[in-house]
Chains A and B, each alone.
Chain A
Amino acid sequence: MVAVRGVSKWFGAHQVLKDVSLDVAAGEVVAVIGPSGSGKTTLLRCVNLLEDFQQGEIRVDGEAVGYAGAGAARRRLPERVIARTRSQVGMVFQSFNLFPHMTVLKNVMVAPVRVKKMPEAEARASAVRLLERVGLADKLDAYPARLSGGQQQRVAIARALAMQPKVILLDEITSALDPELVGEVLAVIRQLARDGMTMMIVTHEMQFAREVAQKVVFMDGGAMIEQGPPRALFADPRTERLQTFLKRFREGYQL
Protein backbone atom coordinates (compact mmCIF):
# COMPACT_ATOMS: atom_id res chain seq x y z
CA MET A 1 0.00 0.00 0.00
CA VAL A 2 2.88 2.33 0.86
CA ALA A 3 6.23 1.87 -0.84
CA VAL A 4 9.16 4.04 0.20
CA ARG A 5 12.19 3.70 -2.09
CA GLY A 6 15.56 5.26 -1.38
CA VAL A 7 14.20 8.46 0.12
CA SER A 8 16.72 11.10 1.19
CA LYS A 9 15.92 14.47 2.64
CA TRP A 10 17.98 17.45 3.65
CA PHE A 11 17.13 20.45 5.81
CA GLY A 12 19.67 22.81 4.30
CA ALA A 13 22.97 20.99 4.60
CA HIS A 14 21.71 18.66 7.30
CA GLN A 15 20.65 15.26 5.97
CA VAL A 16 17.77 13.95 8.06
CA LEU A 17 16.69 10.98 5.93
CA LYS A 18 19.32 8.71 4.41
CA ASP A 19 18.21 6.42 1.62
CA VAL A 20 15.21 5.08 3.51
CA SER A 21 13.23 2.21 2.00
CA LEU A 22 10.29 0.32 3.46
CA ASP A 23 6.97 -1.25 2.52
CA VAL A 24 3.60 -1.27 4.17
CA ALA A 25 1.27 -3.92 2.79
CA ALA A 26 -2.49 -3.40 2.66
CA GLY A 27 -4.02 -4.12 6.08
CA GLU A 28 -0.62 -4.12 7.71
CA VAL A 29 0.37 -2.14 10.78
CA VAL A 30 3.97 -0.93 10.76
CA ALA A 31 5.50 0.62 13.85
CA VAL A 32 8.43 3.02 13.45
CA ILE A 33 10.68 3.30 16.46
CA GLY A 34 13.97 5.02 17.13
CA PRO A 35 15.66 7.61 19.30
CA SER A 36 14.64 11.27 19.32
CA GLY A 37 15.79 13.15 16.25
CA SER A 38 16.22 9.99 14.19
CA GLY A 39 13.83 11.24 11.50
CA LYS A 40 10.65 9.31 12.29
CA THR A 41 8.39 12.33 12.11
CA THR A 42 10.09 13.55 8.98
CA LEU A 43 9.62 10.19 7.26
CA LEU A 44 5.94 10.15 8.11
CA ARG A 45 5.49 13.72 6.88
CA CYS A 46 7.16 12.79 3.61
CA VAL A 47 4.58 10.10 2.97
CA ASN A 48 1.87 12.75 2.52
CA LEU A 49 4.32 15.39 1.37
CA LEU A 50 3.93 17.71 4.32
CA GLU A 51 7.69 17.74 3.85
CA ASP A 52 9.43 17.78 0.49
CA PHE A 53 12.11 15.18 -0.11
CA GLN A 54 14.95 15.55 -2.54
CA GLN A 55 15.68 11.98 -3.58
CA GLY A 56 13.88 8.71 -3.99
CA GLU A 57 10.23 7.97 -4.46
CA ILE A 58 7.17 7.19 -2.40
CA ARG A 59 4.10 5.46 -3.73
CA VAL A 60 0.72 5.12 -2.09
CA ASP A 61 -1.46 2.44 -3.66
CA GLY A 62 0.76 2.57 -6.73
CA GLU A 63 0.47 6.34 -7.21
CA ALA A 64 3.62 8.44 -6.94
CA VAL A 65 3.50 10.94 -4.07
CA GLY A 66 4.61 14.47 -4.81
CA TYR A 67 6.98 13.99 -7.72
CA ALA A 68 6.97 12.76 -11.26
CA GLY A 69 9.98 11.72 -13.28
CA ALA A 70 13.42 10.91 -11.99
CA GLY A 71 16.87 12.45 -12.05
CA ALA A 72 17.00 15.76 -13.88
CA ALA A 73 13.41 15.35 -15.08
CA ARG A 74 12.10 15.06 -11.50
CA ARG A 75 9.50 17.72 -10.82
CA ARG A 76 6.99 18.47 -8.11
CA LEU A 77 3.43 17.62 -9.06
CA PRO A 78 0.84 20.40 -9.04
CA GLU A 79 -0.63 21.21 -5.63
CA ARG A 80 -4.03 19.92 -6.76
CA VAL A 81 -2.64 16.45 -7.44
CA ILE A 82 -0.67 16.39 -4.20
CA ALA A 83 -3.78 17.43 -2.30
CA ARG A 84 -5.71 14.54 -3.83
CA THR A 85 -3.05 12.10 -2.68
CA ARG A 86 -3.13 13.62 0.77
CA SER A 87 -6.89 13.20 0.92
CA GLN A 88 -6.30 9.44 0.62
CA VAL A 89 -3.74 9.38 3.41
CA GLY A 90 -4.94 10.09 6.92
CA MET A 91 -2.71 11.68 9.51
CA VAL A 92 -3.00 12.05 13.28
CA PHE A 93 -0.63 14.42 15.03
CA GLN A 94 1.02 14.44 18.40
CA SER A 95 -0.62 17.79 19.18
CA PHE A 96 -4.10 16.84 17.85
CA ASN A 97 -4.38 19.99 15.70
CA LEU A 98 -8.15 20.03 15.80
CA PHE A 99 -9.69 23.15 14.27
CA PRO A 100 -10.52 25.19 17.37
CA HIS A 101 -13.23 27.26 15.69
CA MET A 102 -15.34 24.25 14.71
CA THR A 103 -17.42 21.88 16.79
CA VAL A 104 -16.36 18.27 17.09
CA LEU A 105 -18.92 17.23 14.48
CA LYS A 106 -17.82 19.99 12.08
CA ASN A 107 -14.18 19.00 12.54
CA VAL A 108 -15.00 15.53 11.32
CA MET A 109 -17.38 16.61 8.55
CA VAL A 110 -15.54 19.50 7.02
CA ALA A 111 -13.05 17.66 4.84
CA PRO A 112 -15.47 15.07 3.40
CA VAL A 113 -17.88 17.88 2.47
CA ARG A 114 -15.43 20.46 1.20
CA VAL A 115 -12.67 18.27 -0.22
CA LYS A 116 -14.49 15.11 -1.30
CA LYS A 117 -17.75 16.95 -2.09
CA MET A 118 -19.71 14.38 -0.14
CA PRO A 119 -23.35 15.40 0.39
CA GLU A 120 -23.79 17.13 3.74
CA ALA A 121 -26.30 14.61 5.13
CA GLU A 122 -24.15 11.66 4.21
CA ALA A 123 -21.06 13.27 5.74
CA ARG A 124 -22.97 14.03 8.91
CA ALA A 125 -24.24 10.48 9.25
CA SER A 126 -20.78 9.07 8.70
CA ALA A 127 -19.22 11.56 11.14
CA VAL A 128 -21.74 10.65 13.82
CA ARG A 129 -21.04 6.97 13.26
CA LEU A 130 -17.27 7.51 13.54
CA LEU A 131 -17.60 9.60 16.66
CA GLU A 132 -19.74 6.88 18.21
CA ARG A 133 -17.06 4.41 17.30
CA VAL A 134 -14.39 6.40 19.18
CA GLY A 135 -16.78 6.84 22.10
CA LEU A 136 -17.64 10.51 21.69
CA ALA A 137 -21.26 10.41 20.61
CA ASP A 138 -22.16 12.81 23.41
CA LYS A 139 -19.65 15.49 22.38
CA LEU A 140 -20.85 16.29 18.86
CA ASP A 141 -21.54 19.95 19.54
CA ALA A 142 -18.64 20.62 21.90
CA TYR A 143 -15.70 22.77 20.85
CA PRO A 144 -12.23 21.18 21.07
CA ALA A 145 -11.07 23.48 23.87
CA ARG A 146 -13.69 21.88 26.12
CA LEU A 147 -12.36 18.35 25.62
CA SER A 148 -9.63 16.46 27.41
CA GLY A 149 -6.48 15.57 25.48
CA GLY A 150 -7.59 11.97 25.09
CA GLN A 151 -10.97 13.05 23.75
CA GLN A 152 -9.37 15.53 21.35
CA GLN A 153 -7.07 12.85 20.02
CA ARG A 154 -9.98 10.50 19.47
CA VAL A 155 -11.77 13.23 17.52
CA ALA A 156 -8.61 13.67 15.46
CA ILE A 157 -8.65 9.96 14.67
CA ALA A 158 -12.31 10.15 13.65
CA ARG A 159 -11.49 13.16 11.48
CA ALA A 160 -8.78 11.21 9.68
CA LEU A 161 -11.04 8.18 9.25
CA ALA A 162 -13.85 10.30 7.81
CA MET A 163 -11.88 10.67 4.59
CA GLN A 164 -11.85 6.88 4.21
CA PRO A 165 -8.09 6.92 3.79
CA LYS A 166 -6.12 4.04 2.33
CA VAL A 167 -3.54 4.38 5.07
CA ILE A 168 -3.31 6.32 8.31
CA LEU A 169 -0.10 7.89 9.63
CA LEU A 170 0.08 8.31 13.39
CA ASP A 171 2.90 10.35 14.91
CA GLU A 172 3.39 9.74 18.62
CA ILE A 173 -0.27 10.31 19.18
CA THR A 174 -0.13 9.59 22.90
CA SER A 175 3.00 11.57 23.78
CA ALA A 176 1.14 14.75 24.67
CA LEU A 177 -1.39 12.92 26.84
CA ASP A 178 -1.57 12.47 30.57
CA PRO A 179 -0.72 8.83 31.37
CA GLU A 180 -4.25 7.99 32.45
CA LEU A 181 -5.61 9.10 29.04
CA VAL A 182 -3.22 7.04 26.92
CA GLY A 183 -5.24 3.85 27.27
CA GLU A 184 -8.45 5.18 25.72
CA VAL A 185 -6.60 6.34 22.60
CA LEU A 186 -4.58 3.14 22.19
CA ALA A 187 -7.79 1.13 22.53
CA VAL A 188 -9.19 2.93 19.48
CA ILE A 189 -6.04 2.14 17.48
CA ARG A 190 -6.14 -1.50 18.54
CA GLN A 191 -9.70 -1.75 17.26
CA LEU A 192 -8.66 -0.14 13.97
CA ALA A 193 -5.85 -2.65 13.60
CA ARG A 194 -8.30 -5.48 14.16
CA ASP A 195 -10.58 -3.98 11.51
CA GLY A 196 -7.72 -4.25 9.02
CA MET A 197 -6.79 -0.57 8.71
CA THR A 198 -3.39 0.03 7.11
CA MET A 199 -1.31 2.13 9.52
CA MET A 200 2.15 3.57 9.99
CA ILE A 201 2.67 4.29 13.65
CA VAL A 202 5.53 6.26 15.14
CA THR A 203 5.58 5.43 18.82
CA HIS A 204 7.61 5.25 21.97
CA GLU A 205 5.21 2.70 23.47
CA MET A 206 7.23 -0.46 22.80
CA GLN A 207 4.66 -2.72 24.41
CA PHE A 208 1.97 -1.30 22.15
CA ALA A 209 4.20 -1.62 19.07
CA ARG A 210 4.86 -5.24 19.84
CA GLU A 211 1.19 -5.91 20.32
CA VAL A 212 -0.43 -4.26 17.27
CA ALA A 213 2.32 -4.16 14.64
CA GLN A 214 3.03 -6.85 12.12
CA LYS A 215 6.30 -5.15 11.35
CA VAL A 216 8.62 -2.89 13.33
CA VAL A 217 11.05 -0.51 11.69
CA PHE A 218 13.98 0.86 13.66
CA MET A 219 15.47 4.18 12.57
CA ASP A 220 18.57 5.93 13.81
CA GLY A 221 20.39 8.97 12.50
CA GLY A 222 18.00 9.30 9.56
CA ALA A 223 18.64 5.78 8.30
CA MET A 224 16.50 2.65 8.42
CA ILE A 225 18.67 0.32 10.46
CA GLU A 226 16.61 -2.79 10.94
CA GLN A 227 13.12 -4.08 10.29
CA GLY A 228 11.19 -7.23 10.96
CA PRO A 229 8.32 -8.82 12.87
CA PRO A 230 8.17 -7.41 16.41
CA ARG A 231 8.79 -10.68 18.20
CA ALA A 232 12.03 -11.36 16.32
CA LEU A 233 13.18 -7.78 16.35
CA PHE A 234 12.70 -7.22 20.06
CA ALA A 235 13.93 -10.65 21.12
CA ASP A 236 16.94 -10.78 18.85
CA PRO A 237 18.16 -7.39 17.64
CA ARG A 238 20.89 -7.91 15.06
CA THR A 239 22.48 -4.47 15.06
CA GLU A 240 24.29 -2.92 17.95
CA ARG A 241 22.38 0.32 17.64
CA LEU A 242 19.04 -1.41 18.17
CA GLN A 243 20.47 -3.36 21.08
CA THR A 244 21.58 -0.15 22.74
CA PHE A 245 18.23 1.49 22.04
CA LEU A 246 16.23 -1.41 23.42
CA LYS A 247 18.48 -1.72 26.45
CA ARG A 248 17.79 1.87 27.34
CA PHE A 249 14.10 1.14 27.08
CA ARG A 250 14.27 -1.98 29.19
CA GLU A 251 16.06 -0.02 31.86
CA GLY A 252 13.47 2.72 31.73
CA TYR A 253 10.31 0.70 31.39
CA GLN A 254 9.47 -2.88 31.99
CA LEU A 255 9.41 -4.53 28.61
Chain B
Amino acid sequence: MKLDFNFILRNLPTFLEGAVVTLELSALAILCSLVWGLVVVTARTAPSRALALAATGYIELVRNTPVLVQMLFIYFGSAVLGAPLSGFAAGLLAMTLQNGGYMAEIYRAGIEAVSQRQVEAGMALGMRRHEVMSIVVLPQAIRKVVPPFTNQAIVMIKDTSLVSSISVAEMTFHAKLLTDRTAAAYEVFLTLAALYLAINAIVSAALRLLERRVAIPT
Protein backbone atom coordinates (compact mmCIF):
# COMPACT_ATOMS: atom_id res chain seq x y z
CA MET B 1 0.00 0.00 0.00
CA LYS B 2 1.43 3.32 -1.05
CA LEU B 3 -0.13 6.53 0.12
CA ASP B 4 -0.35 9.46 -2.26
CA PHE B 5 0.55 12.37 -0.03
CA ASN B 6 0.19 14.84 -2.84
CA PHE B 7 -3.41 13.81 -3.17
CA ILE B 8 -3.94 14.47 0.53
CA LEU B 9 -2.28 17.86 0.36
CA ARG B 10 -4.19 18.84 -2.75
CA ASN B 11 -7.49 18.03 -1.11
CA LEU B 12 -6.71 19.35 2.34
CA PRO B 13 -8.69 22.56 1.77
CA THR B 14 -11.81 20.46 1.09
CA PHE B 15 -11.29 18.57 4.32
CA LEU B 16 -10.76 21.75 6.26
CA GLU B 17 -13.88 23.26 4.79
CA GLY B 18 -15.74 20.25 6.16
CA ALA B 19 -13.88 20.48 9.44
CA VAL B 20 -15.19 24.00 9.99
CA VAL B 21 -18.76 22.74 9.67
CA THR B 22 -18.00 19.79 11.96
CA LEU B 23 -16.57 22.12 14.57
CA GLU B 24 -19.46 24.57 14.26
CA LEU B 25 -22.03 21.86 14.71
CA SER B 26 -20.08 20.29 17.59
CA ALA B 27 -19.69 23.55 19.45
CA LEU B 28 -23.31 24.56 18.99
CA ALA B 29 -24.61 21.12 19.91
CA ILE B 30 -22.48 20.98 23.04
CA LEU B 31 -23.53 24.45 24.17
CA CYS B 32 -27.22 23.85 23.45
CA SER B 33 -27.15 20.50 25.28
CA LEU B 34 -25.50 22.06 28.30
CA VAL B 35 -28.32 24.60 28.51
CA TRP B 36 -31.15 22.25 27.57
CA GLY B 37 -29.82 19.73 30.06
CA LEU B 38 -30.19 22.35 32.81
CA VAL B 39 -33.82 22.85 31.85
CA VAL B 40 -34.47 19.11 31.83
CA VAL B 41 -32.76 18.49 35.16
CA THR B 42 -34.70 21.35 36.72
CA ALA B 43 -37.91 19.68 35.60
CA ARG B 44 -36.61 16.26 36.60
CA THR B 45 -35.92 17.38 40.17
CA ALA B 46 -38.93 19.67 40.41
CA PRO B 47 -41.29 19.30 43.36
CA SER B 48 -44.17 18.83 40.93
CA ARG B 49 -44.58 15.11 40.39
CA ALA B 50 -46.17 15.54 36.98
CA LEU B 51 -43.26 17.62 35.78
CA ALA B 52 -40.67 15.22 37.17
CA LEU B 53 -42.48 12.31 35.57
CA ALA B 54 -42.64 14.05 32.22
CA ALA B 55 -38.92 14.84 32.41
CA THR B 56 -38.12 11.23 33.30
CA GLY B 57 -40.19 10.00 30.37
CA TYR B 58 -38.43 12.44 28.09
CA ILE B 59 -34.99 11.32 29.25
CA GLU B 60 -35.86 7.65 28.78
CA LEU B 61 -37.25 8.37 25.33
CA VAL B 62 -34.28 10.28 23.94
CA ARG B 63 -31.70 8.00 25.51
CA ASN B 64 -33.26 4.80 24.28
CA THR B 65 -33.62 5.76 20.61
CA PRO B 66 -30.80 6.36 18.11
CA VAL B 67 -29.87 9.96 17.40
CA LEU B 68 -29.86 9.05 13.70
CA VAL B 69 -33.55 8.13 13.81
CA GLN B 70 -34.24 11.35 15.71
CA MET B 71 -32.46 13.29 12.98
CA LEU B 72 -34.43 11.59 10.22
CA PHE B 73 -37.65 12.15 12.15
CA ILE B 74 -36.98 15.87 12.45
CA TYR B 75 -35.45 16.36 9.00
CA PHE B 76 -38.14 14.62 6.98
CA GLY B 77 -40.87 15.51 9.44
CA SER B 78 -40.22 19.22 9.20
CA ALA B 79 -40.41 18.96 5.42
CA VAL B 80 -43.85 17.36 5.60
CA LEU B 81 -45.01 20.05 7.97
CA GLY B 82 -44.13 22.60 5.31
CA ALA B 83 -41.38 24.22 7.36
CA PRO B 84 -38.35 22.28 6.17
CA LEU B 85 -35.35 22.54 8.44
CA SER B 86 -31.89 22.45 6.93
CA GLY B 87 -29.89 19.31 7.60
CA PHE B 88 -27.68 21.33 9.90
CA ALA B 89 -30.63 22.60 11.94
CA ALA B 90 -32.25 19.18 12.11
CA GLY B 91 -28.97 17.62 13.20
CA LEU B 92 -28.39 20.30 15.82
CA LEU B 93 -31.92 19.92 17.15
CA ALA B 94 -31.72 16.12 17.35
CA MET B 95 -28.33 16.18 19.05
CA THR B 96 -29.50 18.80 21.52
CA LEU B 97 -32.63 16.83 22.35
CA GLN B 98 -30.73 13.60 22.92
CA ASN B 99 -27.69 14.96 24.69
CA GLY B 100 -29.78 17.33 26.79
CA GLY B 101 -31.22 14.13 28.25
CA TYR B 102 -27.76 12.76 28.92
CA MET B 103 -26.55 16.06 30.38
CA ALA B 104 -29.57 16.19 32.70
CA GLU B 105 -28.60 12.82 34.14
CA ILE B 106 -24.98 13.94 34.49
CA TYR B 107 -26.07 17.08 36.35
CA ARG B 108 -28.35 15.07 38.58
CA ALA B 109 -25.59 12.63 39.50
CA GLY B 110 -23.38 15.64 40.28
CA ILE B 111 -25.93 17.21 42.58
CA GLU B 112 -26.74 13.93 44.30
CA ALA B 113 -23.06 13.30 44.90
CA VAL B 114 -22.98 16.26 47.27
CA SER B 115 -24.20 14.84 50.52
CA GLN B 116 -27.10 16.24 52.48
CA ARG B 117 -24.68 16.76 55.35
CA GLN B 118 -22.80 19.34 53.29
CA VAL B 119 -26.05 21.22 52.80
CA GLU B 120 -26.77 21.06 56.50
CA ALA B 121 -23.26 22.25 57.29
CA GLY B 122 -23.87 25.26 55.05
CA MET B 123 -27.20 25.97 56.70
CA ALA B 124 -25.60 25.66 60.11
CA LEU B 125 -23.18 28.40 59.11
CA GLY B 126 -26.17 30.63 58.52
CA MET B 127 -26.20 30.49 54.71
CA ARG B 128 -29.45 30.87 52.89
CA ARG B 129 -30.76 28.28 50.44
CA HIS B 130 -29.40 29.95 47.33
CA GLU B 131 -26.11 30.62 49.08
CA VAL B 132 -25.82 26.99 50.08
CA MET B 133 -26.51 26.09 46.46
CA SER B 134 -23.96 28.47 44.94
CA ILE B 135 -21.25 28.31 47.60
CA VAL B 136 -21.43 24.71 48.79
CA VAL B 137 -23.29 22.46 46.37
CA LEU B 138 -22.49 23.71 42.86
CA PRO B 139 -18.70 23.99 43.20
CA GLN B 140 -18.60 20.40 44.42
CA ALA B 141 -21.11 19.19 41.85
CA ILE B 142 -19.14 20.72 38.98
CA ARG B 143 -16.15 18.59 39.91
CA LYS B 144 -18.28 15.48 39.57
CA VAL B 145 -19.76 16.66 36.31
CA VAL B 146 -16.66 17.53 34.30
CA PRO B 147 -15.31 14.00 33.64
CA PRO B 148 -18.57 12.49 32.31
CA PHE B 149 -19.17 15.72 30.41
CA THR B 150 -15.81 15.26 28.67
CA ASN B 151 -16.92 11.81 27.54
CA GLN B 152 -20.23 13.13 26.30
CA ALA B 153 -18.54 15.96 24.38
CA ILE B 154 -16.39 13.44 22.51
CA VAL B 155 -19.47 11.32 21.76
CA MET B 156 -21.16 14.41 20.33
CA ILE B 157 -18.23 15.39 18.14
CA LYS B 158 -18.27 11.90 16.69
CA ASP B 159 -22.05 11.99 16.27
CA THR B 160 -21.83 15.08 14.08
CA SER B 161 -20.65 12.72 11.32
CA LEU B 162 -24.24 11.44 11.10
CA VAL B 163 -25.53 14.66 9.54
CA SER B 164 -23.59 13.71 6.42
CA SER B 165 -26.56 11.43 5.74
CA ILE B 166 -28.94 14.38 5.68
CA SER B 167 -26.71 16.24 3.24
CA VAL B 168 -24.77 18.53 5.52
CA ALA B 169 -21.37 19.18 3.98
CA GLU B 170 -19.20 18.44 6.99
CA MET B 171 -16.00 16.39 7.05
CA THR B 172 -17.44 12.93 6.52
CA PHE B 173 -19.70 14.18 3.74
CA HIS B 174 -16.76 15.69 1.85
CA ALA B 175 -14.71 12.57 2.41
CA LYS B 176 -17.40 10.36 0.97
CA LEU B 177 -17.83 12.64 -2.01
CA LEU B 178 -14.11 12.62 -2.59
CA THR B 179 -13.92 8.84 -2.51
CA ASP B 180 -16.79 8.51 -4.92
CA ARG B 181 -15.02 10.89 -7.29
CA THR B 182 -11.42 9.73 -7.01
CA ALA B 183 -11.49 6.19 -5.61
CA ALA B 184 -8.56 7.14 -3.36
CA ALA B 185 -10.19 5.44 -0.39
CA TYR B 186 -7.06 4.91 1.71
CA GLU B 187 -5.88 8.49 1.50
CA VAL B 188 -9.31 9.91 2.15
CA PHE B 189 -10.25 7.80 5.15
CA LEU B 190 -6.87 7.96 6.81
CA THR B 191 -6.96 11.74 6.55
CA LEU B 192 -10.52 11.82 7.80
CA ALA B 193 -9.74 9.58 10.77
CA ALA B 194 -6.64 11.63 11.57
CA LEU B 195 -8.67 14.83 11.58
CA TYR B 196 -11.28 13.40 13.96
CA LEU B 197 -8.53 12.06 16.20
CA ALA B 198 -6.86 15.45 16.23
CA ILE B 199 -10.05 17.32 17.07
CA ASN B 200 -10.92 14.87 19.84
CA ALA B 201 -7.39 14.92 21.21
CA ILE B 202 -7.42 18.71 21.44
CA VAL B 203 -10.87 18.87 22.98
CA SER B 204 -10.19 16.16 25.54
CA ALA B 205 -6.82 17.69 26.43
CA ALA B 206 -8.55 21.03 27.02
CA LEU B 207 -11.25 19.43 29.13
CA ARG B 208 -8.66 17.39 31.04
CA LEU B 209 -7.00 20.67 31.88
CA LEU B 210 -10.31 22.00 33.14
CA GLU B 211 -10.76 18.79 35.12
CA ARG B 212 -7.43 19.39 36.81
CA ARG B 213 -8.23 23.03 37.47
CA VAL B 214 -11.43 22.18 39.31
CA ALA B 215 -10.12 19.07 41.03
CA ILE B 216 -9.94 19.15 44.81
CA PRO B 217 -6.26 19.14 45.75
CA THR B 218 -5.23 16.05 47.65
Do A and B share a direct contact in the complex (Cβ within 8 angstroms)? no
